Amino acid sequence: MDFKRILVAINGTRIDEKTIALACSLAKKNKGKVFIAYVIEIDRSLPLDAEVKPAVDRAENALSIADKCAEDCDYEIATDILQARAAGPALVDEATERKVDLIILGMEYEVRFGEFTMGEVVPHLFKYAPCQVIVWRDNAPINTDQTG
């Protein structure tokens, strides 16, 4: 498959490096572009352009790690911090605006109320993304009771 334009959504977790490496590997084959986006979700009680210094600091740190990861892969990336009410719609808008062929994002294995959950972003992208989506899910915890 030819992926000329790839958007990688990061969130400052250890999975980011794996998704960036995957994106760089796929893009290298076609001399494509890799765009990295970190979305800061702004509470509805604040203006959308509110200065949220701790969140911006986390985003800048995550993007710095993304730059290092891309450098290790010997690939050039473009990074951006987005501020939005919700990450899912922001990523769909970014993918549409940049005309990407693929969105890649990672997710940790998360349990809520005793059940595995994909959160809100992954289902939103599966439903609305204007392109293909790859989700890199972290390993499930080892569990001997797999009756589910």
pTM of the model: 0.91
For the stretch 16-40, pLDDT in tens is 999 999 999 999 998 999 999 999 9
E strands present in 70-114: 77-84, 102-107, 110-112
Whether residue 125 contacts residue 92, with contact meaning beta carbons closer than 8 Å, is answered with yes
Note the pLDDT of residue 17. 95
Which amino acid is located at 87 in the chain? A
Number of neighbours of residue 59 by Cβ within 10 angstroms: 23
**143 three-state secondary structure:** coil
Q: Taking the alpha carbons of 60, 65, 68, 74 in that order, is the dihedral positive or negative?
A: negative
User: Cβ neighbours of residue 48 under 8 Å, at least 6 residues apart?
Assistant: 42, 83, 84, 85
- Domains of the chain (ranges; CATH) run 5-137 (3.40.50.620)
The radius of gyration of the chain from alpha carbons, rounded to an integer in Å, stands at: 16
For the stretch 70-87, pLDDT in tens is 999 999 999 999 999 999
**Which segments of the chain have a pLDDT < 50?**
144
